[in-house]
């Protein structure tokens, strides 16, 4: 059993780490990782924190001169916290993924960096599949640079925070997105009103760390959950009715027409 003192020390440590992040002070390792984004011309200046997620802090940054950023003025930097409490959850997802199973038993830093690399790879697959997601620019260590989904420095709202004008179209676009990913053998695994941003009437999927390839033993379970979450959300909030079996069949059906 852990002693009280141990717990207290740990809490103090976490508080201190949190403060550093609040003040925009990164640990040395993160600074080293970050410098590469400057050197490659992806980033020229950090602006401010736009969100604190479950396992990461997201910053808005001015972009650099690199062609990779497609002429955008700003980029998002997602910093995975080494002290992330979601660490155990991460290991679980990585363990079942055949792409990463050889890397188990490594250090916490290694797991976080692998998680980061996985999110980047997943974003890339989805992006190439033509799904609306932030375009991934670069990753290094525990940091990902990606397209900013927002307007004039203001992040686009999550679906849970908006009243949709045309919910049926949005739901269809989400289902189409899930299908396009499935065709590229990817299942998001955490589709919800929290992880979909709405910009100019288009739903953008974000947060791909937990996404898995369809070979993953839990892929079907995650897909079923994603579809159910979507259908339930639109039924509860907009009384749009869709049949699970029909939608599911459509997603996994033969896709040679694409």
Ligand X SMILES: Nc1ncnc2c1ncn2[C@@H]1O[C@H](COP(=O)(O)OP(=O)(O)O)[C@@H](O)[C@H]1O
Active-site residue set: 190, 207
Sequence-distant contacts of 187-192: CB under 8 A, at least 24 apart: 187/211, 187/212, 187/213, 187/214, 187/216, 187/219, 187/222, 187/223, 187/226, 188/126, 188/222, 188/226, 189/93, 189/222, 189/225, 189/226, 190/226, 191/225, 191/226, 191/229, 191/230, 192/160, 192/229, 192/233
- Binds 158: which of ligand X, Mg ion, none (CB < 5-8 Å by kind): ligand X
Nearer to ligand X, 80 or 248 (CB): 80
247 lies in the site for ligand X, by CB under 6 A: no
Residue that the structure tokens 């997105």 belong to: 177
Among 76, 187, 198, 227, binds ligand X (CB under 6 A): 76
206 lies in the site for ligand X, by CB under 6 A: yes
- Binds 58: which of Mg ion, ligand X, none (CB < 5-8 Å by kind): ligand X
Round to whole Å and give the CA distance between 170 and 201. Answer: 7
Consecutive H or E run containing 133:
none
Mask for 116-145, x = binds ligand X (CB under 6 A)? ------------------x-----------
Residue nearest to ligand X (CB): 53
Nearer to ligand X, 96 or 155 (CB): 155
Among 41, 130, 155, 167, binds ligand X (CB under 6 A): 155
Q: Contact 144/116 with Cβ under 8 angstroms?
A: yes
For ligand X, the binding residues (CB under 6 A) are 50-51, 53-56, 58, 76, 134, 146-150, 155, 158, 195, 206-207, 209
């Amino acid at each position: 059993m852990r002693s009280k003192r141990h717990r207290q020390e740990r809490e103090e440590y976490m508080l201190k780490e949190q403060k550093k992040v609040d003040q925009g002070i990164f640990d040395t390792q993160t600074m080293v990782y970050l410098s590469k984004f400057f050197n490659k011309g992806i980033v020229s200046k950090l602006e401010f924190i736009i969100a604190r997620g479950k396992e990461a802090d997201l910053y808005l940054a001015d972009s650099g001169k690199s062609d990779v950023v497609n002429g955008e003025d700003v980029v998002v930097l997602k910093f995975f916290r080494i002290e992330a409490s979601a660490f155990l959850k991460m290991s679980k997802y990585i363990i079942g993924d055949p792409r990463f199973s050889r890397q188990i038993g490594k250090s916490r830093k290694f797991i976080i960096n692998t998680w980061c690399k996985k999110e980047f790879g997943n974003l890339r697959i989805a992006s190439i599949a033509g799904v609306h997601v932030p375009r991934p620019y670069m990753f290094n260590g525990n940091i990902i640079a990606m397209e900013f989904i927002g307007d004039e420095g203001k992040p686009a709202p999550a679906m849970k925070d908006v009243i949709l004008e045309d919910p049926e179209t949005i739901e269809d676009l989400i289902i189409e997105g899930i299908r396009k990913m499935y065709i590229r053998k990817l299942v998001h695994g955490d589709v919800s009103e929290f992880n979909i941003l709405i910009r100019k009437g288009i739903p953008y999927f974000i947060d791909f760390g937990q996404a898995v390839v369809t070979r993953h033993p839990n892929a079907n379970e995650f897909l079923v959950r994603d579809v159910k979450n979507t259908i339930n959300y639109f039924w509860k909030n907009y009384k749009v009715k869709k049949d699970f079996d029909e939608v599911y069949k459509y997603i996994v059906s033969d896709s040679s027409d694409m």
